[in-house]
Amino acid sequence: MQAILEAIRAGASGEDLAALPIPESYRAAHLRRSDEAMFEGMPSKDKDPRKALHVGEVATPVLAPDEVYLAVMASSINFNTVWSSIFEPLSTFGFLDRMARESEWAARHALDHHVVGSDASGVVLAVGSAVRNWRPGDKVVAHCNYIDDQDPSAHDDSMLAANQRIWGFETNFGGLADLAVLKANQLMPKPAHLTWEEAAVNGLCASTSYRMLVGRNAARMKQGDRVFIWGATGGLGGYATQLVLNGGGIPVGVVSSPDKAEILRRLGCEATIDRVAEGFAFWKDEHTQDEAEWRRLGKTVRSLVGDDPDIVFEHPGRSTMGASVFVCKRGGTIVTCAATSGYMIEYDNRHLWMKLKRIVSSHFANYQEAWGMNELISRGAIHPILSACFPLEEVGEAAYQVHHNMHEGKLGVLCLASERGLGIDDPEMRARIGEDRIRLFERT
């Protein structure tokens, strides 16, 4: 990989890169099948990603005709890497084994190690014989929607494909590595004004937030909508807040510290709620929710933005869903894509049906949606929310911090890019936008 890195840094042509041999093994963050039961019986909070995520050499798989080898310059931590590294709610080796039954190519994925990671920025090194739109030397970012385009179910909205998967979570050969294998239809042009690490953090979270709010598949935000956003400086929320502002809406951002509230204000979100400072607790005990707390939250929102929210951007799940359904406006939409605090949720159905509210589900994004989001980033309308960066060797620590909500925005991971700040191809555009906006989330 060293020769490949030197060639990329020296600006080698696509032809020169294509002539370099693909190494037989590469450095990757991976889980081991033999560790599957290592946390059995422990509470989630005690399951430590640092113990399960190994960094070391793994064998390079052969390339299918519709795939590319990517030299990964940077990647990022997503919550799915937390889930896989604590083997919750299921071990991801089960996903790989099921996938393996589909075809000869799919069978490559069922190994005793799982290379995880669902984001990447990098340079295409080689393409399979069926790849048309990409060639060696292309600078790209990845999106993680992994579909089988021979299945008819994948040809309306590809997120409805019967065997849709998330790359690097439900497939092997993911992005937290020096090399990755992706389908050609996962690639998008790298935004030229961003560094490798800034470009790497957007794919999964930004595209998910885009589908949840923009376009025809989920909440369909309109100009002027009030949008209530849980975790408004988190991976999803940091993009959701920007999308609401960019689309002419009014965000109400919930966070858990004064520092995060300050990030929101700098983003342009004036209505902020610090859920810890204001002591919101929606459950009296494990079985009983506190309707008075729902009402207090509703009052707070109205006092901030004058009305109930048209849309509630929901992902914490069990701890917040009752409140989310309650505070949403009559006729409004609760859009959900996750349940970090627990997936057996509970809400008072009377507040849903009597006020004609809708709960809409959403999951990642199809290629069009991911591409639309990438264009907004490439034009400088939406910015990366990178707050800190870790070397690949410290991927366990980075996942640990996300597991324990010790981060803001996104944590980047440097793979082949051994230092920060590389990869900017359009410094003029960067100067026009301004470092303060591009690096707004960075820890100082």
Q: Which of 63, 124, 244, 254 binds ligand NAP (CB under 6 A)?
A: 254
CB of 6 to ligand NAP, least distance (A): 34
Distance CA 392, CA 117 (A): 11
411 binds ligand NAP (CB under 6 A): no
By C-alpha distance, which of 213, 209, 192, 222 is closest to 379?
192
**Which of 337, 377 has the CB closer to ligand NAP?**
337
383 binds ligand NAP (CB under 6 A): no
Tokens of 78: 């997503």
Given the rule CB under 6 A, which of 40-48, 78-86, 122-130, 367-375 is the region that contacts ligand NAP?
78-86
Q: Give the x-and-dash track for 264-293 against ligand NAP (CB under 6 A).
A: -----------x------------------
3-state secondary structure of 142: strand
How many CB atoms lie under 10 A from the CB of residue 247? 17
Distance CA 55, CA 44 (A): 22
153 binds ligand NAP (CB under 6 A): no
Whether 118 contacts 182, CB under 8 Å: no
Whether 309 contacts 240, CB under 8 Å: no
315 binds ligand NAP (CB under 6 A): yes
3-state secondary structure of 243: helix
Distance CA 241, CA 231 (A): 10
7 binds ligand NAP (CB under 6 A): no
326 binds ligand NAP (CB under 6 A): no
Q: Which of 145, 208, 366, 374 binds ligand NAP (CB under 6 A)?
A: 208
Q: Which of 75, 145, 300, 319 binds ligand NAP (CB under 6 A)?
A: 319
DSSP state of 117: -
399 binds ligand NAP (CB under 6 A): no
Given the rule CB under 6 A, which of 227-235, 263-271, 286-294, 352-360 is the region that contacts ligand NAP?
227-235
Distance CA 81, CA 75 (A): 12
Q: Give the x-and-dash track for 27-66 against ligand NAP (CB under 6 A).
A: ----------------------------------------
9 binds ligand NAP (CB under 6 A): no
| Residues in 164-203 at the binding interface with ligand NAP, rule: CB under 6 A | none
CB of 161 to ligand NAP, least distance (A): 14
Bridge partners of 70, per DSSP, are 124, 180
**Which of 409, 423 has the CB closer to ligand NAP?**
409
364 binds ligand NAP (CB under 6 A): yes
Q: Please, which residues have CB within 8 angstroms of residue 4's CB and are 6 or more apart in sequence? A: 17, 20, 23, 71, 125, 416
In 244-385, the DSSP E strands lie at 250-255, 271-274, 283-285, 288-289, 311-314, 333-336, 358-361
Residues that bind ligand NAP (CB under 6 A): 78-80, 204-205, 208, 230-231, 233-237, 254-256, 260, 275, 315-316, 319-320, 337-338, 340-341, 363-364, 402, 405
